[in-house]
């Protein structure tokens, strides 16, 4: 489903036609030279935890194409330094995701371990990576030819219900936090859990206030629409969606409605587009629903026979492969958001190495230039491609830093300990 605005200044950037600057390939290349990609969400730290228990000895981040392990159910990793260079990646928020199934004290420990893993990985490759905690560092790293490496926390369970823990995570370098993951927290509703709070609780509102006082980006990927709207109401600085898509093109509950996108525009924030087929392509979402129904039917018919149920489901999947879409569908998501709320409010958050499959043509971090070429072919100007690649998220981070500087005299928000 495609929706187009009838008129408005936000359409001018796509109505200009092919750029006089050259071919689509040349326009894309010029944009990526001027503003390398700053991706909002990559799960290499999760892969290191799952595959290697965070032991980096013997790990070669220059080339991970041979990391598939069928016996353990691992495909090859989607990220390495060689492909980062091909993909024109200049900055990355590395996600320090830990499972929302963990008890919160364990989640806090695991998050600390993941931050440590990012720092150790960066230290192993000082010619290629630079750990950053602010916009000035990102600029300096890129001038030095390094990939600016920032930390993003994925899920409010990682602070254990403590603003003191939030402050310490920020002190260690975390520069955004996704308020929930797939499950509600005690203070915020997730998109994929039964509503409990109708958005944010009063403590959840304080989490947003304290994050912004610190200069930490509030990330609304994974949260319910009620949580989004509460966060927009409370926020005094721009927020982000680090890896989400438009619900108008795919009705997955994790995606963002037009109403929430309009609120994002008013807030000045940015939506960073995800590459996971189930969030990109409406047909993939529909296939997932059909598969869930088939799985329930098959399991009901194979009570006490899990091997038979598995074999029948595999046969169904072989006869009914998932329609995973392509790079064109990602470009459609980007186009939709840019046409609805303007090219100042869209970015890229691929979710690579956090997803087992991608749309065709965007299988790993080397593929960003192909996406930019497709958008240039559609009439995107070099200036707007630069906004998409990194200028929008840089603007948002600078705004968050400026707001924090303006609140420097404010006392930390306190909450009592619980044990």
Residue among 157, 181, 197, 345 flagged as catalytic? 181
In 3D space, the residue among 121, 109, 141 whose CA is nearest the CA of residue 36 turns out to be: 141
Determine the Cα–Cα distance for residues 211 and 216; give it in Å rounded to an integer: 5
Residue among 43, 225, 312, 384 flagged as catalytic? 43
Strand residues in 137-294 grouped as ranges (E)? 147-154, 174-178, 217-219, 240-241, 270-273
DSSP string, 94-143: EE----TTS-HHHHHHHHHHHHHHHHHHHHH-TTTEEE-SSHHHHHHHHH
Residue among 29, 39, 80, 154 flagged as catalytic? 154
Residue among 157, 170, 197, 222 flagged as catalytic? 222
Catalytic residue check, 364:
no
Residue among 39, 41, 205, 386 flagged as catalytic? 41
Show Cβ contacts of residue 160 under 8 Å, excluding neighbours closer than 6 positions.
104, 105, 107, 108
Residue 180, Cα to own-chain centre: how many angstroms? Answer: 13
Catalytic residue check, 351:
yes
Q: Is 291 exposed, middle or buried (0-12, 13-18, 19+ CB in 10 A)?
A: middle
Catalytic residue check, 243:
yes
Q: At what angle do helices 225-234 and 258-267 cross, to 10 degrees?
A: 20
Catalytic residue check, 197:
no
Determine the Cα–Cα distance for residues 315 and 333; give it in Å rounded to an integer: 32
Residue among 243, 344, 345, 353 flagged as catalytic? 243
56 touches 117 (CB < 8 A): yes
Determine the Cα–Cα distance for residues 105 and 101; give it in Å rounded to an integer: 11
Determine the Cα–Cα distance for residues 135 and 33; give it in Å rounded to an integer: 18
Catalytic residue check, 43:
yes
132 touches 149 (CB < 8 A): yes
Determine the Cα–Cα distance for residues 184 and 182; give it in Å rounded to an integer: 7
- The Cβ-side half-sphere exposure at 269, using a 13 Å CA radius, reads 25
Report the catalytic residues. Answer: 41, 43, 154, 181, 222, 243, 351
């Amino acid at each position: 489903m495609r929706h187009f605005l009838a008129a408005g200044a936000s359409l001018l950037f796509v109505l200009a036609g092919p750029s006089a600057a050259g071919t689509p390939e040349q326009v894309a290349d010029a944009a990526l030279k001027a503003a390398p990609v700053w991706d909002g969400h990559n799960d290499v730290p999760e892969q290191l935890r799952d595959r290697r228990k965070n032991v980096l000895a013997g790990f070669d981040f220059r080339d991970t194409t041979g990391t598939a392990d069928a016996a353990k159910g691992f495909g090859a990793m989607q990220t390495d330094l060689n492909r980062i260079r091909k993909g024109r990646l200049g900055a990355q928020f590395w996600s320090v995701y830990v499972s929302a199934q963990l008890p919160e004290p364990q989640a806090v420990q695991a998050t600390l371990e993941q931050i440590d893993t990012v720092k150790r990985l960066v230290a192993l490759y000082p010619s290629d990576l630079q750990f950053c905690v602010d916009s000035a560092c990102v600029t300096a790293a890129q001038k030095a030819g390094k990939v600016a490496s920032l930390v993003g926390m994925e899920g409010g369970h990682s602070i254990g219900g403590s603003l003191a823990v939030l402050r310490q995570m920020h002190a260690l370098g975390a520069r955004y936090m996704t308020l929930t993951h797939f499950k509600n927290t005690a203070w915020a509703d997730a998109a994929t859990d039964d509503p409990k709070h109708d958005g944010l609780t009063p403590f959840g509102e304080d989490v947003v206030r304290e994050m912004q006082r610190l200069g930490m980006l509030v990330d609304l990927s994974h949260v319910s629409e009620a949580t989004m709207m509460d966060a927009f109401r409370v926020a005094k600085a721009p927020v982000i969606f680090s890896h989400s898509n438009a619900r108008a093109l795919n009705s997955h509950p994790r995606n963002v409605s037009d109403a929430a996108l309009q609120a994002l525009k008013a807030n000045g924030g940015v939506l960073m587009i995800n590459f996971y087929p189930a969030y990109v392509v409406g047909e993939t979402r529909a296939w997932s629903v059909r598969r869930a129904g088939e799985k329930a039917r098959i399991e009901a018919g194979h009570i006490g026979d899990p091997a038979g149920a598995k074999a029948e489901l595999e046969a169904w999947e072989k006869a009914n492969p998932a329609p995973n879409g392509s790079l064109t569908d990602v470009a459609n998501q980007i186009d939709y958001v840019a046409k609805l709320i303007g090219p100042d409010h869209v970015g890229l958050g691929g979710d690579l190495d956090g997803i087992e499959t991608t749309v065709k043509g965007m299988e790993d971090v080397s593929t960003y230039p192909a996406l930019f070429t497709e958008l240039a072919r559609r009439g995107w100007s070099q200036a707007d491609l630069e906004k998409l690649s990194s200028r929008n998220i840089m603007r948002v981070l600078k705004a968050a830093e400026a707001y924090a500087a303006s609140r420097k005299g404010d006392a930390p928000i306190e909450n009592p300990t619980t044990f």
